[in-house]
Structure 1
Amino acid sequence: MAKDFKTRVREQFSRTADGYIHDKGFAGGADLEAALNLLQPGSDDTLLDVACGGGHTAMFFAPHVRSVVASDLTMQMLKKAQEFLSEEGRVDNVTFREADAEDLPFPAGSFTALTCRIAPHHFADVPRALKEFHRVLRRHVGRMVIIDTLLPDDPEIAEFYQAMEQMRDPTHVRAYTEPEWVQMVSDALFDVKHTAIFPKTHDFPEWSRRSGLDAAGVKRLNQFFIDAPDKIHDYFQIETFAGEVESYTDRKLLIYATRIDKK
């Protein structure tokens, strides 16, 4: 099952790679600035960016560290990310590596810092990925920042969120609440030092099309939003005009944690 699912992930992101490269929402934001302040990267740091997507996080951190390895499950995404960074021409210390987050092809202790941004909701086994993060981080100095969509605590709103994400992108597995994230990270032998929540507003037409939905799929998803109960409209701040969804706002959770050394 996991192999078949990862094949679907590769196919999905191979088809939609261009959309992620050129989406400005990934290029910056308060979450990245907070990650930089928490990680405090320096010229001696080697950073791994897991599930790098369009390469925006790797490019953001590259000027602050000795080197960055940008890894992703999808080779086509890596090629597009490499082209993007080459065109930007701002950094020359990023290398790209095809890698499964749940089975990273790096020796233990290869990196001093790790980032993983807006990706774990696509992972089949997040706890396994976190154990890999622990393994490839160096003893005594290893630290990481994970940023991903926050699952609402309210069960009805959470159910809506899971449903609409899977309507948009069948490779979405699930999002997690803050307590769930803290528990998983702690179980993987990390010390959670800080969490923060950031709102993110999405342009609905752009967001829905980026995943490769056809016109009929976009229409179904639009109606799903329109028909949602008032409390879901309020929570996601859904903006509509003439029966069309214009935007909605979700929340991203940032977790900063340091590696606990095994005894």
Structure 2
Amino acid sequence: MDKKFKNRVREQFGKTAMAYVQAARFSGGKDLEEAARLLKPTQDDNLLDVACGGGHTALFFAPLVRQVVASDLTMQMLKKAQEHLAEEGGVDNVVFREADAEDLPFPAGSFTLLTCRIAPHHFPDVPRALKEFHRVLRRGGRMVIIDTLLPADPEIADFYQTMEQMRDPTHIRAFSEADWAQMILDAELILQETKVIPKTHDFQDWAKRAGLNRKEIQQLNRYFMDAPQKVHDYFKIESFAGEVETYTDQKLLVYATRKEKEKK
């Protein structure tokens, strides 16, 4: 990962760490429920949550597994996430580690489960990260990645990429379902299932969580309002008196596994 960009990510998420920790919308949802259904976690499992953010995914899975290692590039985010879990109480099997998704500091085969939720669009080299996921997963290990699905229509995709970068300059890009399938294959993982899950966002909360000031939020609001009708239709943009209230995007859940050990 480029050092300058890595520092930008640390700066961005360091200053917004508390907002992400306090965002209740991350603590549950259909995506986490579906992830648990597919991963089938047990008390024998050791789970790595990559780019853990506010710790919500780690907290969700902690009661279901033996141990969770919650890793993130941003130390400030890890500290806030750790405080959040301590305040929630009842969880004593989560440990926190500073880690770059593209260079994980764990031995090969350390984990039976791996999760990475709403983060890969910040990774400069997703294929490299996936190879690291393969390396740290034990043979037969299971993995779920959840991230925003890139719209198929080029004009809508361009709108999406631009609005995400207006909100957060550390956004790099989202991927199509076909992109993910190819990257999973290239990483020598086995794609088992994908699922598209819509997610509705409160516009003001979504913009403020990224640390935007009033002027920046107004500019982003205008960009939404001025978008072509097909963009409004795709994102189900709801507005009142020229102000965006909500929009809905599509999250792609990718369930993959590492190949089992060959039988002799």
TM-score, structure 2 as length reference: 0.98
The secondary structure found in structure 1 opposite 2:111 is coil
Aligned counterpart, 1:218:
217
Equivalent residue number for residue 22 of structure 2: 22
> Secondary structure at 2:121's aligned position in 1?
helix
Q: What does the per-residue CA deviation read over 1:186-240, in whole Å, with 9 as the maximum and x for residues that have no partner?
A: 1101111110010000000110011011111101000000000000000000001
The equivalent residue for 1:123 is 123
Aligned to 1:13: 13
Query: What is the letter of the counterpart of residue 235 of structure 2?
Result: F
Moved over 6 A (4+): none
Identical aligned residues as a percent: 71
Residue-by-residue CA offset, 1:106-165 (whole Å, 9 max, x unaligned): 0000000000000000001000000000000011x2110000000000000000000000
Deviation at 1:262, TM superposition (A): 8.3
Aligned partner of 2:64 in structure 1 is 64
Q: Which residue of 2 aligns with 1:110?
A: 110
SS in 2 for 1:109: coil
Q: In the alignment, which residue of structure 2 is the partner of 1:183?
A: 182
Find the aligned partners of 1:74 and 1:101 in 2 and give their Cα distance: 11
2:158 alignment partner AA: E
SS at match of 2:143: strand
Q: Distance in 1 between matches of 2:72 and 2:34?
A: 23
State the AA in 2 paired with 1:45: D
> TM-score scaled to structure 1, two decimals?
0.98
Structure 2 gap segments, 5+ residues each: none
Task: Give the structure 2 partner of residue 40 of structure 1.
Answer: 40
User: Residue in 2 aligned with 1:134?
Assistant: 134
Q: CA shift at 1:90, angstroms?
A: 2.4
1:169 aligns with 2:168: yes
Instruction: Deviation per CA, 1:32-72: give whole Å up to 9, x if none.
Output: 00000100011110000000000000000011100000000
1:234 aligned partner: 233
Paired residue total: 262
Structure 1: stretches of 5+ with no match in the other structure: none
Correspondence for 2:254: 255
The alignment's C-alpha RMSD in Å is 1.0
